Chains A and B, each alone.
Chain A
Amino acid sequence: MLAYFSSLSFLTLLRALPGSVAQGMVWGIMALGVYITFRLLDFADLTVDGSMAFGAAVCVMLIRGGVHPIVATLIAFLAGMVAGLVTGLLNTLLGIPGILASILTQIGLYSINLHVMGKSNQPVSVDNYPLLVSLRYVTGSAKSRAFFFLGMVIFLVVLICVLYSYFGTEQGQAIRATGCNPNMARAQGINTNFIKVLTLMISNGLVGLSGAMYGQFQGAADVNMGRGAIVIGLAAVIIGEVLFGKWTVKRKAAFGWTLGAVIIGAIVYYLVYQFVLWLKMPSEDMKLLSAVVVAVFLAIPYLKEKKSQRKGAKA
């Protein structure tokens, strides 16, 4: 026991934390995508596991082929949108239930990603290419670290502002109405099928973007890198809601703060992840832990309601 504690070096943990924060920021973009489908559209979209890796594969292969990382990252965003389009059409045009439609896209993307990369893993080194993000910027000099985080924060703030404005437009309102009450939306002339497809495209575009950034960040695209991404995204959404839910609703521009809370949720997730690793718990168990945490927090509102209903019935 004593030996176990003395083997834990606090300094090691401290040194690992900036990397975890950076990773949380990158995955936070994916979590925004999950938030948009899961909370705004009320659609459980499992496409993300595939579109995350798709974004990474497309971006890394383009960079290796000489395309500038900025352009490659933007194309990865479009690639993610195409993945969302496929799920949307399977669901709305062919009538396949949402979850199943998204699983079909996800499975199909696994093969496509292998084709894109030619094998299961492709490196892209920051030594050879001017990557937008990289773990090496974080572990490097204090100046490069400050520069990296400043850039990331600005990018995320701009992204949140864009999303905030978008969901306040006529189109954004149509998305929220469709997610909240599809019958009302149709009665008010909203083409809910079109809106679903559009939202899935926006969401998976963000996931593809996140994948592209994560591929650069870790210096490689891997066909398995999106596995379980949906659970991480949900965990980030839920952590954000649990930590800041009460606080955000009272704010002006509450929706913008909620999006910010999702990013912070992702950062907290990776800080906890690092902490668990530091405790020398096997990292394989992290997915199980995440799944349990997500299940518990998704169940809480339901159980609360059931309890209050039972109370109401007694009264």
Chain B
Amino acid sequence: MSEEKYALELREITKVFNRGTVNEKLALSGLSLNLLPGDFVTIIGGNGAGKSTMLNAIAGVWPVDSGRVIVDGTDITALPEHKRALYLGRVFQDPMNGTAATMDIEENMAIASRRGQRQTLRRGVSAKEREFFRERLASLGLGLEERMTSKVGLLSGGQRQAITLLMAAIKKPKLLLLDEHTAALDPKTAAKVLEISDRIIEENQLTALMVTHNMRDAIAHGNRLIMMDEGRIIYDVRGEEKKNLHVKDLLAKFEEVSGTEFANDRMMLG
């Protein structure tokens, strides 16, 4: 047991895809990371750096090859994906991914609010829950509380991401995982969803990991920033030092450590 209780400990995580084939890819290379409770970490890095793979390793989408994943002192490395859901809230890049399109808004929220419990034969949405969901939805300021029995598939990408955020936070998870969750949205909607993310993290005092392709966002949000390359963390700043960062500092850092230029990458500078 470590002296300090971390919200998340990644110990020497290694993940190889397609081992033994020509497509063999070392996606995580002995990656370690410790987060304190309440840390809000933004993650940047080039395409294929392993950012999504790191979040997927935490979420248990597939087993890792070696290393441990410890959330709030509990080793969850051996747990299947659906059992880890108790500890985690997740929002994905594709707005289609986080919700069930053919189900009502309130049904999606009800499923999220039972995360980690057994599904019984009780009514899917009770009157009491409905009131709670209405209040949560109203807090988004998008008017969705008036459309609780609409199918989620009828909503825009931004509305779906906002609902997915609510769902992710509804059980106050030990860790919130946001994987480029504004990348598929237009700039205005993206800004709105980011603002909602900030508020939800703050209100619930969540520990969060947020992957973003926008360096300015990475600097402006959270209390800590990490840069990844080739399945490792190559840069890690926090506090005042992070606040005073500029995009050009990050570019310089990337070139210094990885020896390649960012310019030809998908990464957005603005």
Contact = CB atoms under 8 A, between A and B. Distances in A.
Nearest to A169: B121
Contacts, number: 84
B196 interface: no
Given A188-B85, A191-B82, A173 B124 contact: yes
Interface string A111-155: 000000000000000000000000000000000000000000000
Contacts of A172: 124
B247 interface: no
Interface in A173-221: 173-174, 176-177, 180-181, 183-192
A189 B86 contact: yes
A187 B85 contact: yes
Interface stretch (B111-119, B185-193, B231-239): B111-119
Contact of A189 (B83, B92, B96, B107): B83
Nearest to B122: A170
A171 interface: yes
Contact of A173 (B81, B97, B110, B167): B110
Interface residues of B, number: 34
B138 to A, nearest CB: 22
A185 B119 CA distance: 12
Contacts of A186: 81-82, 85
A177 B116 contact: no
Contact of B119 (A168, A187, A190): A190
A168 B97 contact: no
Interface string B53-71: 0000001000000000000
B119 A188 contact: no
Given A187-B85, A187-B90, A189-B85, A170 B99 contact: no
Q: Is the interface of A mostly helix, strand, loop or mixed?
A: helix
B102 interface: yes
A192 B59 CA distance: 15
B111 A188 contact: yes
Contact of B102 (A174, A176, A185): A176
A171 B100 contact: no
Question: Which residue, of B86, B92, B99, B119, has the highest number of chain A Cβ atoms within 10 A?
Answer: B119
A188 B86 CA distance: 8
A188 B83 CA distance: 9
Q: Is the interface of B mostly helix, strand, loop or mixed?
A: loop
A179 to B, nearest CB: 8
A188 B167 contact: yes
Contacts of A189: 82-83, 85-86, 114-117
Given A188-B85, A190-B82, A191-B82, A180 B101 contact: yes
Contacts of A170: 110, 114, 119-124
B101 A181 contact: yes
A174 B97 contact: no
Given A171-B120, A176-B103, A180-B101, A192 B114 contact: no
Contacts of B97: 181, 183-184
Given A187-B59, A188-B167, A191-B82, A174 B103 contact: no
Nearest to B167: A188
A311 B145 CA distance: 35
Nearest to B110: A173
Interface string A54-98: 000000000000000000000000000000000000000000000
A14 B196 CA distance: 65
Contacts of A185: 82, 100, 111
A168 B102 contact: no
A171 B111 CA distance: 10
A168 B86 contact: no
A164 to B, nearest CB: 12
B82 A192 contact: yes
A184 B85 contact: no
Question: Which residue, of B59, B81, B92, has the highest number of chain A Cβ atoms within 10 A?
Answer: B81
Given A186-B85, A187-B81, A189-B115, 11 more contacts: A166-B121, A169-B123, A170-B123, A177-B100, A180-B100, A180-B101, A180-B102, A181-B99, A183-B97, A187-B88, A191-B80
Q: 6 closest A-B pairs (Cβ-Cβ)? A: A189-B85, A170-B119, A180-B100, A189-B115, A173-B124, A171-B119
